[in-house]
A and B are shown apart, each in its own frame.
Chain A
């Protein structure tokens, strides 16, 4: 199985801050990397697919980059509604696997 490792596991930030979350795959996954946002009691929501493609309806302050084993999710200017947990997920091979999550909290 491909292991997905996210860092940090949590961070504190203020509204307006630029936030970066990283995800590393245990082997090359080309650009088959997706990012999700999850709020308490809700299902994950797809933000970015194919490493850098913005899902329809997702604000442009979210962006993704990377290929191979190293990937980044960036929020350019953190908004109040962005406080949530973020997950990466690889769709390169089965089983689909997810990172452990990064909780973004209010500073």
Chain B
């Protein structure tokens, strides 16, 4: 059974960097048929996909255009986890952030527990 455990601060100051980590159990971050995603949810923006990282003989990242200049996803094979960094945050980045696994056309089948991140001074 795949489990995703998120960690990271729930409060970030404006202009600073939001950092979250997702620890994977029951699967490998280097798995060659899945991708590892970050998705956020807010009342104003709904469910918004931010990006994904995946391994197919080498590492690939895909990012949403809306955050492309500010986002970095990093896999960590030694700890079997992946992380999200979102720079220069504003109050509009306040949301519940989820890490999640996806596999081709099979949907997003495993989700982390969610982390409410509030951007406020």
Chain A interface (Cβ < 8 Å from any Cβ of B) = 31-32, 34, 36, 42-46, 48-50, 55, 87, 89, 91, 94-98, 100-101
Contacts and interface: CB of A to CB of B under 8 A. Distances in A.
Contacts, number: 56
B108 A44 contact: yes
A6 B91 CA distance: 28
Interface stretch (B13-21, B24-32, B78-86, B111-119): B111-119
A89 B107 contact: yes
Nearest to B98: A43
Interface residues of B, number: 22
B105 A49 contact: yes
A49 B106 contact: yes
Given A91-B102, A94-B62, A95-B64, A46 B49 contact: no
